[in-house]
A = this chain, B = another copy of it.
Amino acid sequence: MPLFARTTTPTLERLRRAPADLAEVLAARTPAAVTLWLGSTPTDEVDAQVAALDRRELTQLADVLTPESASRLMDRLEPHTAGMLLDAVPAPTAAGLLGLLPEDEASRVVRTLDADVAARVLASLPNAQSALLRGLLAWPEESAASWMRPAYLHVDQDARVADALAAARRDPDCADEGVYVDRRPVHAHAFSDEAALLGWIPLRALVVADPDAPVTGVMVARDELRGWSVSALADQEHVLRAADDSPDGVVPVLEDGVLLGVITRDGVQSIREEEGDEDAALQGGTSPLGRPYLQASPWRLWRARAPWLAVLFLAEMYTGTVLRAFEDELSHVVALAFFIPLLIGTGGNVGTQITTTLIRAMGSEGLRARDLVRVVWKESRTGVLLGLSMAAMGAARAWTLGVGGPVILTVALSLAAIVLWASLIAAVLPLILRRIGIDPAVVSSPMIATIVDGTGLMIYFTIARAVAL
């Protein structure tokens, strides 16, 4: 029995002639063209091309889908793109497309829909399916339970490996997550007759084990399983840490010893991407869009960016105050102004290099606040090396601008001091923030540059005053 729907697999010759663009496929208006396009286009391209369609084109696409190509297509779309497609077609068609996805993926698509569209689509689904979906949608967004697939394979504690194999054969779609062993309580309690989880048989063990062996001898026991399971309301970062420890990358969701569902490898990968999006956005001094870039309106982009810009603007405002305080020096030696962007820019660059490295190391190398002293010691020495290098370049640049000895000296000393100062600030800030419970990714390049700008100016003009300009 083949596991993967094998439609007309394009051979190399046909791939070369395959339409590369979805627009051409829609112009052809034949189901075969869609199948060919799906077979010859990488996954992220499929999503990008569908996301670029307007509502009329989306309905045209839905019209030429066969059950097979619809399933392949839905499988490759990101939740937001699938949501756009469902939004464009009549509710019964949308329900049919949604029904092609497993519950966990379907629930993520429904979460992208407007409330009234979601209600219509859910109402068009068969009762059992819509009840399962509503259950999943009730969990708060970003909770572990909102990512789980509620269906999983299970056998009871008296079963043999052959029974677990039979369970996997009945429902192969769940086989990748393995077979769970549970026990129904002998005395049903008043409020619960839910099954307590006893252990887990990974897919590999099903293949390798003797079919006559009792499952309890093959399973990974509950105590060990706890090392990589999460509670229903655990946050996403917690799920990722559990997945790293899970031998198959699959994360069970447990509540009071009862298995509620399983986060699949695909689910873990989706969480990883979402967390990556959030970190990248914070590091770029903006908020995550929560949807693909091409589907975000200018208004939404404005809302993601303007608050951060405003905060940075307010923080940067004191550079004006600093400069006004040194108005006398500035009007006396206008040449000092020539080096303002260069000096504060270099300080910001050094700070950015360090915070980027530290934030990455905190995420993937287990760097923690307890390492603060080592980090500061390492960055001070590096800061001295970099400060001296930059001072030499600064002196050369000041000389080419013909600004005279005192300004050259001021620029060189200031660069060395600013680079060292930026190194220390950047070394300390991410670790301290993590310690007090703030995501260190907020120390973005714009943030560290802003912090260094004003203090760098103070260093610059203080040195200028000391050099007696």
Contacts and interface: CB of A to CB of B under 8 A. Distances in A.
Interface of A: 1-4, 6, 9-12, 39, 42-45, 47-49, 51-52, 78, 165, 168-169, 172, 175-176, 202-210, 213, 217-218, 220-221, 223-224, 226-227, 241, 244-245, 247-249, 265, 273, 276-277, 280-281, 283-286, 289, 292-294, 296, 298-299, 301-302, 305-306, 308-310, 312-313, 316-317, 319-321, 323-324, 327, 330-331, 334-335, 337-342, 344-346, 348-350, 352-353, 355-361, 364-368, 371, 374, 378-379, 381-382, 385-386, 389-390, 393-394, 397, 401, 444-446, 449-450, 453-454, 457
Contact of A352 (B284, B292, B296): B284
Contacts of A208: 1, 3, 168-169, 172, 175
A146 to B, nearest CB: 21
A446 to B, nearest CB: 4
A365 B294 contact: yes
Given A44-B364, A367-B293, A457-B341, A350 B221 contact: no
Contact of A356 (B44, B281, B302): B281
A302 B340 contact: no
A335 B320 CA distance: 9
A343 to B, nearest CB: 9
B324 A338 contact: yes
Contact of A334 (B3, B310, B331): B331
A44 B210 contact: no
B285 A349 contact: yes
A389 B277 contact: no
A382 B303 CA distance: 10
Given A286-B357, A346-B316, A357-B281, A3 B364 contact: no
A382 B207 contact: no
B293 A353 contact: no
A208 B1 CA distance: 8
B365 A292 contact: yes
A360 B313 CA distance: 25
Given A48-B366, A277-B364, A365-B293, A340 B337 contact: yes
A378 B305 CA distance: 14
Nearest to A173: B204
A345 B364 contact: no
A320 B338 contact: yes
A394 to B, nearest CB: 8
A15 B262 CA distance: 25
A224 B340 CA distance: 59
Contacts of A43: 244-245
B221 A9 contact: yes
Contacts of A390: 309, 313
Given A284-B355, A317-B342, 8 more contacts: A1-B209, A1-B217, A39-B227, A44-B365, A52-B371, A168-B208, A309-B346, A345-B450
Given A294-B367, A358-B293, A353 B305 contact: yes
Given A203-B204, A330-B337, A457-B341, A78 B365 contact: yes
Contacts of A356: 280-281, 283-286
Contacts of A327: 334
B209 A203 contact: no
Q: Give the interface centre of A280, A320, A381 by most chain B CB atoms within 10 Å.
A: A320
B1 A361 contact: no
A330 B320 contact: no
A354 to B, nearest CB: 8
Q: Give the interface centre of A218, A241, A293 by most chain B CB atoms within 10 Å.
A: A293
A298 B48 contact: no
Lowest 10 CB-CB distances: which A-B pairs, in order?
A: A284-B356, A48-B366, A445-B445, A44-B366, A319-B341, A293-B361, A298-B381, A298-B382, A286-B353, A349-B446
